[in-house]
Amino acid sequence: MGNMLVNTRDQKFLLYEQIGIEKLFETEKYADYNKETVDMMINEAEKLAVEVLLPTYDKGDKEGCKFEKGRVKVPACFHDAYKKFCEAGWLCCMRSVESGGQGMPNSVAQACYEFFQAANYPLVMYPGLTNGAAGLIDRYGSPEQKKKYMERMYTGEWGGTMCLTEPGAGSDVGSLKTTAKRLPDGTYSIQGTKIFISSGDHDLTPNNIHTVLARIEGDPAGTRGISIFVVPKFRVKADGSLGPNNDVTTGGIEHKMGIKGSATAMLIFGEEGKCVGELLGKEREGMKVMFNLMNEARIEVGLQGLGTATAAYEHAVEYAKQRLQGAEIFEFKNPEAPQVPIIRHADIRRQLLWMKAHVEGCRALLYYTSFCQDMMEAAATKDERQQWASRADLLIPVCKAYVTNRALDVCSIAIDVYGGYGYCSEYPVEQYMRDCKITQIYEGTNGIQALDLVGRKLGIKKGMHLLAIAKEMDAAIAILREEHPELSSYVNYLAEAKNALTDLTIKFFKLGKSASFLVPILYATPYLNLFGDVAVGYLLMEAAGIAQKKLNAIYAEAGAKGSKAKQRAMVHTNAEVAFYQGKIASAKFFAVNVLTSVRGR
């Protein structure tokens, strides 16, 4: 089916032709999956996104959430869409079959969820956060906690949240003031205030299960003294029915620039001293537990950014094809020249190609990182598992920060393509930009992601993980030069950018051991963006090599080999030729306009 959200042909190119997820089907963990199954899932995701979620996007933004008499109401149109989303099993599709999920590979789920995020990510945040909180209980909870909470969260019957931020503890989580006091029955009395809690309160479900970071009385200051607790809004009786309110109250909701359909709440725990929580995992291991959810969330936020970007791009392309304005450039002196669609104008084409290259590159980065997670989970040996886990871990901050940085740029350029109309709420692109902005801020600001990359990830095993990626790039670059001489000049730009990044990384290592150790921290954000540019440039160039090989075969079969005229003509008559030519154009554009600047930056 057609849509103005996601390019399904590019999705399948990535999954089957570039990443090669069929390798997963050969493993024991994903043996029940095959191409037909994956295609069916993506088709169903597209259908749900277009028919159910997308119609609620604009309505949810205009209606917003309401806080009345201590209760939060979400946009009315969200209720039916939420119900259908959960009934279809999408909430926990990546979780194990034993826990109630479908055991879907992460890379496949990325493709499906890209549709959902592009259609209405403020709505999808509700089941998304529930899945994350339930996943923590799934991994660290006792059998009793799983039965009591997890099962009903995975079905969407109950909601869930992650409660970290406090008025005085944002990025500095270790400064939190929320306390936990041991009770005689083994539970804990929770007291404190959390702010900016996404899905913190709503009327989609009768109960909300909060995962709350707090410090047990007497435990040390800082992050090492933090524990995590399961705190339901309403207590749960032995028979599973709901009891009284657990002394969890909502102090209000935020009035935000974007994602207005997503309730962002202030939660007050234990105002009357009657809030009871259950320890999740072990004492003083709250950050260890929560980081499992944070890593999932950071990939998801990257996908939220991509969702707004791909939708903004697809809408901009369609608008540029329809909007008539001005004559062809070579007719500028002819007052009788007819108007043409603005996609015929050079600068509009440049803007669209910039968006196309970055959307495709960011999609490739996210899908590849999720594939690394799949390979980690399916690994047969400990060493293989560690290899894939380390690569995914290195790329996660780049997926979150780089993708959302570029996504906001894409949304901004989409508004430019629309011109003055893009700035008006009658058209969707201004909402995409408003909704995209928060992705740079929550789940760890992009500055924090850069510090994580430079201050922690790069130094693991003395940079061995980055070195392994660089060696793979070198090998791939050599093959591209040999097999595709027509791409050689662009491949050279990639090689130079990769070398510049490697040189800078080595310099950072040296500075980190000197009196100038603060320099890498100062330039952490520019470094992350350079890292992302090189990673995306590599993935785009790899795709161009695959596309060129496919084109050569098509041209040979059609008798167009060596004839530029015939090859150009086939762009208009053969959809596959047009697609593959587009992949090559994205890589060339990115190489010339982005990779050439890496050394200078």
Provide CB contacts within 8 A for 551, sequence distance 6+.
567, 577, 580, 581, 584
Tokens at residue 249, please? 């109250």
Q: Check if 486 is active-site.
A: no
CA distances (Å), origin 131, targets 125, 149, 182: 10, 12, 28
Q: What is the largest CA-CA distance in the chain?
A: 88
**Cα–Cα nearest to 223, from 295, 164, 147:** 164
**Cβ neighbours around 562 below 10 Å, total:** 9
The residue from 443, 483, 557, 576 that is catalytic is 443
* Sign of CA pseudo-dihedral 455, 457, 462, 465: negative
**Cβ neighbours around 546 below 10 Å, total:** 16
Distance, in Å, from the CA atom of 567 to the CA atom of 562, rounded to the nearest integer, reads 8
CA distances (Å), origin 283, targets 198, 228, 288, 331, 598: 25, 8, 11, 74, 46
**Cα–Cα nearest to 307, from 265, 349, 259, 264:** 259
CB 162 within 8 A of CB 297: yes
Beta bridge partners, 166, equal 169
Distance, in Å, from the CA atom of 318 to the CA atom of 316, rounded to the nearest integer, reads 5
CB 269 within 8 A of CB 212: yes
Residues involved in catalysis: 443
